[in-house]
Structure 1
C-alpha cells in the first residue's frame, strides 16, 4: 500500500490513480444519456458473427526463424516468442469475461491453444484488472498446468488479486509507470495508458493500468492493454522504441466512452507515434463489449493502416506470424462471417485520421 500512496500517479485526496491525460469514463457531453448508451448496448444487429470464426491450432514446435513470433489467441491475449523466451499477455481463456459463470459477455470462438498446451512461459504480463484482461480461472490454470513458477508482471495494486488466487508474492512484480523488471533476459517495462480499472463498484481506480514494452537482446514489442489515444505514445516510442511489432487495442470503442478506448483510426495513429513496426490489432473479435458491429474494428483498421502505409497483420485466432516475414496474414477472413448490415449502429465511435502526432512527423 505504501508504494501506491507514494506513486506520482496516485491522487491521495481522491484515493485513486489518475490518467496521464484527463479521461471521462461515462457518456461524454454530446454523446447521449446513460439510457441511450444502455439501449445501444442492447441492440443486436451485427454484434455477433453470422457463422463460426475460423480458429487455427498453432504449431509452435519449431522456433521462429528470425527470433520473434506472435500468436493472437483472441481479444487481448497474445503469446510472444521473443529471442528464445516466451511471454503471454493478458491471458483470458474463460468462457465469459465476467464475475459470473452464468452471465456476461461470452466468447465468439474457442480458445486456439488451451492452457495445458501452451508450453513453457517465462513471464505473464497483465495490463489491468478488468475481467476481459485478468481472469482468475486462467491464472490458476496457468500455474497448475503450465508454469507454477512463472513471473507475473502487473501494474501497481494488481498483485493483490493474484495473491488471493494463490500466486506467491515472490512471483509477482508490481510496477508503476516507467518501472522495469527482468525476466529470463527480457526487460519488461510498464508504460502509461489512458484507461481505468476495477473489478467491482467499490474498487475503481484503486489499481493501476498500463501498457507494456518488452525488450529482448534483439527484438522489442509493445502491448497497449486498453487505452484511449493520448500524446504520450510518442514519448513511449522515443524512449522504448522503435518496436519490431506493436499489439494495439482497436476494438470496443464507442462515442459514449471516447477517452478510454481507441477507434481503429486512433490505434493506427498511436502505432505511428510508437514507431511500432508491424501492427497487430487486438481487443476485438472475441467478446461483444461495444455497440459497433463485431467485424468493424478489423475492417476499419485494415483501411486505416493501408492509408497510412502501415504494415498490419490481422490473423485468424491462433494463426502465428513472424513480423519480419515478407508476407503477413491479411486475408479479410471476417468478411465471410459478417452479418448483413441492417441499420447504422449508434455509439460506434468517431472516425479519426490515422496520421502521426506532430512530435513524430518527419
Structure 2
C-alpha cells in the first residue's frame, strides 16, 4: 500500500508546487474532509488517540537500509504487473437473486473489495470501483482489470464497511456512486468526515472505535484492533482510525483483517468474537520495511489461525501494483505456509463466489512466474516474537 501512498504524495506535492487550479480542486475533493468539531471531540476521547493523532498499541520499528522512493515506484520484481489479461468472472445482479444454500458466500472483486452474503444480508467491504488508487484519475496505481461486477449491477446491500481511509480502500468515485442508495456505512472513527464531504448523509454513517459494535439488519459489526496507519493528504496522517471487522449473523461469523501488521490482539479477537467460518486476511503489498504495518503472506496465515478461522480467503493482492514483489507472489507464499499449517485456503478468480461450506481444491488461475520465498524476502513484524515462536 505504501507505493500507493507515495504516488498520492507525489501527485499532491506537484499540485501544491504548481498552484493547483482545476487539479487542485480535484485533489482537495479526493483528500476528503477534516476531522473537526464533534467528530474530533469523540476522537480525542478514544484510548487510541494521543498527541493529536491515532496511534498503534505496539511501536513501529524503523528498519535499517531503506530504499529510495524511486525504487518503490519503478524498481522491484520484473513481474509486478501481469503480462497477459487476468481471467475475470463477470457478474450481474441476477447472480445474487438466489441466496447461498449454506447461508454464507463471498464474491472477491479484487484487492480488498468483497461482497459478503451472510444469513440473508449483504455487506460490501472496502468498495473500490475507481480506475486508480490515487487522488487523480490519470496518475498512480492502475487496476489490472475492470470490476467484475459493474456498479450498475450491484444488488441491494444492507451495509458498507470501511477498514481505513487509504485510496485502495476508500474510493471517492465509488462513494459518490453509492450516495442515494440509503445504505448504512459503518466505519472507524473519523472516516465519516470523508463520507460527509462527499455527500453521504450523517444519519447513514456509524463511526466506531476498536471493540465497539453496531447492529445493522440483524448483523453485529464489530471494529477490531489493527496495526496500520491512515491519511489521504499532506497533513492528515493518522487523523482517522484504522480497523479490522468481525461480522456476525444468527448462524455465521466472518473476520476481515483490514490492513494490518501482526499484533497481540488477534488472539483476543478470536477469543471474544470467534471462531470464524471465514477469514479475509490481508496478504499482499508487503515489504520487509513495512513489517509493522502489513502482514505479509506467512503472518497472514498465522493471523488466520490466531483468530480461530475456518476457511482463509487472502485479499489485498491481484489488482494494484503497490509493492516491489511480483503480483502472484502473495498467493504462492500463502499456499506454502497454509499447506505447512493445514489451513484451508480459497483462491478465487476475480468475480468468483466462495462458499466456505462447499470449498473445493485450489485451482491455480495465475501464471507460473518467478517469485521470492520467505527465506529470500522475510516479513516479520516487531514486538510479537512470542506469537512467532521466537
Flag whether TM exceeds 0.5 (same fold): yes
Shift of 1:327: 1.7
Instruction: Name the residue aligned to 1:103.
Output: 139
Structure 1 residues 360 and 70, CA gap change in structure 2 (3 angstroms) = farther
Q: Does 2:38 correspond to 1:2?
A: no
Q: Identify the match of residue 360 of structure 2 among 306, 327, 335.
A: 327
CA offset digits 1:280-327 (Å, max 9, x no partner) = 000000000000001000111111111110010010000002001152
For 2:301 and 2:72, how far apart are their aligned partners in 1?
Answer: 26
Shift of 1:232: 1.1
Residue-pair matches, total: 343
User: Which consecutive residues of structure 1, in runs of 5 or more, have no partner in the other structure?
Assistant: none
For 2:102 and 2:207, how far apart are their aligned partners in 1?
Answer: 31
For 1:142 and 1:52, how far apart are their aligned partners in 2?
Answer: 28
Instruction: Name the residue aligned to 1:17.
Output: 54
For 1:345 and 1:248, how far apart are their aligned partners in 2?
Answer: 19
Tell whether the 8 Å contact from 2:109 to 2:148 is kept in structure 1 after alignment.
yes
Q: Identify the match of residue 350 of structure 1 among 373, 378, 384.
A: 378
Instruction: Name the residue aligned to 1:154.
Output: 187
For 1:52 and 1:305, how far apart are their aligned partners in 2?
Answer: 27
CA offset digits 1:252-306 (Å, max 9, x no partner) = 0001211101110000000000101100000000000000001000111111111
Q: Does 2:66 correspond to 1:29?
A: no
User: Which consecutive residues of structure 2, in runs of 5 or more, have no partner in the other structure?
Assistant: 1-39
What SS does the corresponding residue of 1:113 show, helix, strand or coil?
A: coil
Instruction: Name the residue aligned to 2:158.
Output: 122
For 2:317 and 2:164, how far apart are their aligned partners in 1?
Answer: 17
Instruction: Name the residue aligned to 2:15.
Output: none
Shift of 1:358: 6.7
**TM-score, normalised to structure 1's length?**
0.90
Q: Which 4+ runs in 1 deviate beyond 2 A? A: 58-61, 343-346, 356-361
What SS does the corresponding residue of 1:335 show, helix, strand or coil?
A: coil
For 2:373 and 2:214, how far apart are their aligned partners in 1?
Answer: 43
Aligned-residue RMSD, C-alpha: 2.2
Tell whether the 8 Å contact from 2:111 to 2:319 is kept in structure 1 after alignment.
yes
Matches within 5 A, 1:284-323: 284-323=317-356
More helix by share: 2
Shift of 1:2: 1.4
For 2:113 and 2:133, how far apart are their aligned partners in 1?
Answer: 13
Matches within 5 A, 1:230-245: 230-245=263-278
Q: Does 2:177 correspond to 1:141?
A: yes
Tell whether the 8 Å contact from 1:23 to 1:194 is kept in structure 2 after alignment.
no
**TM-score, normalised to structure 2's length?**
0.84
Q: Identify the match of residue 124 of structure 2 among 88, 94, 106.
A: 88
Structure 1 residues 239 and 360, CA gap change in structure 2 (3 angstroms) = farther
Tell whether the 8 Å contact from 2:96 to 2:155 is kept in structure 1 after alignment.
no
Shift of 1:244: 0.5
Shift of 1:351: 5.0
Q: Does 2:94 correspond to 1:57?
A: no
